[in-house]
Amino acid sequence: MPEPRLLFVHPHPDDESIACGGTMARYRDEGAQVHVVTCTGGEAGDNLSGIDLSGRDFAQVRRDEVQAAAIILGLTSHRFLGYRDSGMAGTPANEHPDAFVRAVLDEAACRLAATIRELRPDVVVSDDEKGTYGHPDHVRAHEVTRRAVALAADVAAAVPGDPWDVPRHLVITYSRERLFRMHLSLLEAGLASPFGDDAVAGPDDMAFGSSEERVAFRVDVQPWLDVKQEAMAAHASQIAADSFFLNTPPDQARLGFGTEEFELVSGQPAPVQPSDDILAGLR
């Protein structure tokens, strides 16, 4: 049997490690090819950690960070789609002519479709239609990926390469129930929760996430949690050494980061849902 092939599409450097780093490391160790496309260079981000840039171009810093994370995660390949970070909604970066949000949908989707035809992935993973927390580049990454999957399969599309019908397209999600359990666990341990104080009364009060019923794949990545956190730490301009991502106590880290969840957008469902294997039924 040929090696399974996975393609992850993310808007900015660091999104790959935060959202799917454990899944990437797990399937790398299981012998799959793991490819990542980053849609933008992260140019409009801030130096959130205040690291010494020593006159370095910030865009190059972000590129160097994602390349370091790619090595840690053991990616088969990493490439950029070629657009500029659009910044947060309502900021001047939205108006830059190269901003991802300003890209013509089919133009961006054709670029990604060409990569899909080249790599012929068994599973494509991207953001959901809400962009998780609403960032315009995350929303655009969903739109572009969904269109690219369709174009890659279309024999009449003007896309280089032979058509490829992606067997399974997934989107990243976070079940509100799991996030609420993490929130309670942090409060019970006397720690600050990123979701606010104990006024959050139940799962439906979480700021983002989906219902349990929509989770088609729930991947246990606890054995790869240290790799995921090492990859996150490689993005030093975005994730400081004292950050929540890297310093959450083990019990809470397992709840928050030890599972990665996905919804099915198109293609073949798993024989049993939710499944712990995004390749279930495809191997």
By DSSP bridging, strand 5-10 and strand 33-40 are parallel
Rounded to whole angstroms, how far apart are CA atoms 184 and 189? 9
In DSSP notation, 245-277 reads HHHS-HHHHHHHHSEEEEEEEEEPPPSSSSBS-
Q: How many CA atoms lie within 13 A of 171 on its CB side?
A: 24
Please report whether residue 283 resides in a domain.
no
Estimate to the nearest angstrom the gap between the alpha carbon of 205 and the chain centroid: 23
- Do 82 and 135 lie in a common domain? yes
pLDDT digits (tens, 9 = 90+) for 216-266: 999 999 999 999 999 999 999 999 999 989 999 999 999 889 999 999 999
Please report whether residue 277 resides in a domain.
no
- Do 90 and 182 lie in a common domain? no
Q: What is the pLDDT of residue 198?
A: 64
How confident is the chain (283 residues) per 10-residue block, as mean pLDDT? Answer: 92 97 98 98 91 88 97 98 96 96 98 98 96 91 98 98 98 94 90 80 86 95 97 96 91 92 97 96 91
Rounded to whole angstroms, how far apart are CA atoms 168 and 121? 9
CATH of residue 115's domain is 3.40.50.10320
Q: What is the pLDDT of residue 230?
A: 97
- Do 165 and 182 lie in a common domain? no
- Do 167 and 243 lie in a common domain? yes
- Do 190 and 117 lie in a common domain? no
At residue 99, φ and ψ (nearest 5 deg) are -60, 140
- Do 181 and 79 lie in a common domain? no
By DSSP bridging, strand 5-10 and strand 217-220 are unpaired
Query: Which among 199, 71, 208 has a CA at the least distance from the CA of 132?
Result: 208
- Do 117 and 183 lie in a common domain? no
Name the 3-class secondary structure at 239: coil
- Do 167 and 241 lie in a common domain? yes
- Do 132 and 229 lie in a common domain? yes
In DSSP notation, 136-184 reads HHHHHHHHHHHHHHHHHH-TTS--SS-----SEEEEEE-BHHHHHHHHH
- Which structural domain, as residue segments, surrounds residue 110? 5-174+214-251+261-267
Q: What is the pLDDT of residue 145?
A: 98
Burial class (CB in 10 A: 0-12, 13-18, 19+), 173: buried
- Do 247 and 109 lie in a common domain? yes
Please report whether residue 137 resides in a domain.
yes
- Do 77 and 181 lie in a common domain? no
Please report whether residue 196 resides in a domain.
yes
- Do 91 and 225 lie in a common domain? yes
- Return the DSSP state at 4: P
Please report whether residue 203 resides in a domain.
yes
Tokens of 277: 């294997």
Please report whether residue 63 resides in a domain.
yes
Please report whether residue 256 resides in a domain.
no
Rounded to whole angstroms, how far apart are CA atoms 223 and 26? 8
Q: What is the pLDDT of residue 267?
A: 97
Residues paired with residue 8 on neighbouring β-strands, in sequence order: 36, 125
Number of domains observed in the structure of the chain: 2
Rounded to whole angstroms, how far apart are CA atoms 6 and 124? 6
The answer to whether 100 touches 107, Cβ cutoff 8 Å, is no
Please report whether residue 91 resides in a domain.
yes
